Amino acid sequence: MKKISQINQKDSHILKYFLLEQKKDFNNFIELGWNIETIQNQFLKKNNFSLGFFDKNKLSGFLLGDIIKSYDSSILDIYVFFVVKNERRKNIGSSILQYLETNKDIINISEIYLEVEENNIEAIKFYEKNNFVFVNFRHNYYKYKNKKINAKCFLKKFK
């Protein structure tokens, strides 16, 4: 059975095991500082909003973010959006985004904001396919092995 549900501090053990299994494919996020400790700290934040996609009670993908209050609604600022490599192209990521759109009024969000490395073409195509709009660059935002990479910033507004 497939389900999407909020994840938080009580799910740290699930994420810890998941990250050990997915270490190679999750490495870019690890290099950016996303490890089990920083994820646990994310879960402790009052404005944390994180989701997991479970298939037969096994985590297949997740997103970590914050809900940033705006005037009459809020923005979901996504920091990590990850799907297991061999599970990609099976609508897991799109299902998570659809869940957000379907529940936008309950969650009280009107927009989703995220950044992605400009050379991550697969992710950029995914976001564009899911109606995210490019808004700007953050120059030299990411740093890998002394190489600086621009971030492309995307926004999705709900109607």
pLDDT computed for residue 31 by the predictor? 80
Q: How far apart are the first and last CA of the chain?
A: 30
User: Both tokens of residue 155?
Assistant: 């926004």
Judged against a pLDDT cut of 90, whether residue 142 lies above it is answered with: no
Q: Which domains does the chain have, with CATH numbers?
A: 2-157 (3.40.630.30)
In this prediction, residues 35-42 reach a mean pLDDT of 92
Distance separating alpha carbons of residues 107 and 76, to the nearest angstrom: 9
Burial class of residue 129, CB neighbours in 10 A (0-12, 13-18, 19+) = exposed
pLDDT computed for residue 159 by the predictor? 77
**Average pLDDT value over all residues in the chain:** 91
Q: What is the per-residue pLDDT across 72-112, written as a single tens digit (0 to 9) for each?
A: 779 999 999 999 988 888 899 999 999 999 999 999 999 99
Per-residue pLDDT band at 131 (split at 50, 70, 90): very high
Phi, psi for residue 34 in degrees, rounded to 5: -90, 100
Q: Cβ distance 137 to 152 under 8 Å? A: yes
